[in-house]
Every structure is written in structure tokens, then in C-alpha cells.
A = this chain, B = another copy of it.
């Protein structure tokens, strides 16, 4: 692997995987089971992520149990019922029609936690949050790798972190980062659903770029 030089064709394949990756919700998931070995491959891709001071501070709880899934759905419903009130009347109408999670429909759920190191971590002294960011890099690796296996992944964030820690008996020092739903899909949408529904528009990248400074 040392000094492996990639070709433009290989770069193009990565581009296609990135462009075809979608946030998948319950209206797309099939109940086709995912093989244990395939779940293992996706978690192994997480372990290839960069982490601050090589701390590898990610922990994953694989969820299949119906009762526990129902507790997560209850948490989602509590948060979601108030979340929609922050939008305009028009957006609330769209919001009510959106399927925003696939907890029940996805055959596999994964709760992702950040477990801070008990020892000092190189590179984390002035920016403690880089520990959490390492876990997010691992999630993005999983998302891309799952897509390359033609498996959909949806990130559910309409949840109460304290409730998630309680549902999964997480230790005091663990922090809830994300709840992921994984499964095969009937369709990967061509555009992000929120773009397709005109909820948000794609920003040209040039609008996010500054040179030398903001001023």
C-alpha cells in the first residue's frame, strides 16, 4: 500500500461513490437482511478513519432488538413533535409529509458513541472537540463504504442524547454522536431529497470559499 499512486480512473470511481451517497430514510429501505460479514466490513471501514493522536475513540452499538428500537422511535417522536414548530407554516406542511428516519424499516441500526481516552491525547489539548470529530470521520467512511456495497445509510439526529445514553446503558463518560440506520434500498435518489422537494438548494461551492481571510 506504501506510496500507492491512484489513477484518474480510480479517482473518478471515488467521485461517483461520493456523488451517489444519500441520506436514506424509512420510505426507501427494504427488509432484506444484511449479512453479518457485510456489517463487519462497514465497521472495519470506520476503523480506517483518521483520529486525533491515533486515539480511535469510536464505539458502536449494533441494534436489532425490537423493544430497544421502539424506545429510540419514542425518543424521535418526542423531539420531532416540537422540532417542526420552528418552521414557517408553509414548511410545516412539507415537514409533516417527510419521513425523517428509518429506525423500524432498516434491518440494522447502529448507535455511535464517542468514548474519550482516560489518558492525554496528542493533538487534543486545545481542541477537545477533535475527539468527537474523529468519530464523525469514521461515520463518513462507513457511509461511503456502505454506498460502495450498495447499502443505504441514514443518520437520525432528531433524538435526545441523554435518552440515547440511557436506552443503551452507555457509561457516564460516553457521548452520543449519531444513530445510523442501514439497509438495502428500493432506490438511491438522484438528488438529495431535501433538494428535490425544494426545502433547500445546493450552494455553489464558490460561495463557501474565501482567499487569505474573510475580510
Contact = CB atoms under 8 A, between A and B. Distances in A.
Contacts of A137: 136, 139-140, 143
A202 interface: yes
B174 A122 contact: no
Contacts of A55: 200
Interface string A4-34: 1110001101111111110100000000000
Contacts of A210: 59-62, 168
Contacts of A23: 50
Interface string A26-50: 0000000000000010011111111
B50 A174 contact: no
Contacts of A87: 120, 122
A148 B46 contact: no
Interface residues of A, number: 106
B18 A48 contact: yes
Contacts of A141: 18, 140
A6 B72 CA distance: 32
A203 B56 contact: yes
A68 B210 CA distance: 14
5 contacts: A47-B203, A62-B211, A122-B199, A123-B158, A132-B133
Given A83-B122, A126-B161, A127-B161, 13 more contacts: A14-B17, A47-B203, A53-B194, A53-B200, A54-B192, A61-B211, A62-B210, A83-B126, A86-B120, A87-B120, A100-B123, A129-B132, A130-B157
